[in-house]
Amino acid sequence: MVLLEIFNFLHFIGLAFGLGGATIASIISSKAMKDEEIGKVMRKIMPPIIKLLWAGLILLIISGIFISVLIKWPLNKNLLIIKHVLVAWIVIIGIMIGKNMKNKKDVKELSKINLILWYAITLMSAFV
């Protein structure tokens, strides 16, 4: 039971890192479109934020696997599958953002989609 609590805590930390990083990345990328100075600084600011996002995602995936193994009560499998699909999309979009860092417009749009997916997962976490 202690292991379940530890992995549950790690799951919440991963969610906080990912959601916080996605929110900050989305705000910075939308501001960079309007202000050229922020656009120049964005290239320096984004790598640590992206590392925070990836750390959150890795924590979510690893802790989520252990939580589903340790839980003894039934889970809503359909909602869990939807969450897994959304996490897969976040990974794909994260890779796309990393490859398109020079194109600010693409980064802005992908950051918005990424942010929506993170908030959707956060809302669903209340029900699974």
128 band by pLDDT with thresholds 50, 70 and 90: low
Mean pLDDT taken over the chain: 86
pTM of this prediction? Answer: 0.83
State how far the alpha carbon of 15 is from the alpha carbons of 34, 38, 118, in Å.
29, 27, 8
Q: What is the extent of the structural domain holding 74? A: 2-125
Residue 8 in contact with residue 59, Cβ under 8 Å? no
Task: For residues 102 and 105, give the distance between their C-alpha atoms in angstroms, rounded to a whole number.
Answer: 9
- Model pLDDT, residue 79: 85
Q: What's the number of domains the chain is made of?
A: 1
Task: For residues 56 and 103, give the distance between their C-alpha atoms in angstroms, rounded to a whole number.
Answer: 25
Give residues with Cβ within 8 angstroms of 27, minimum separation 6.
none
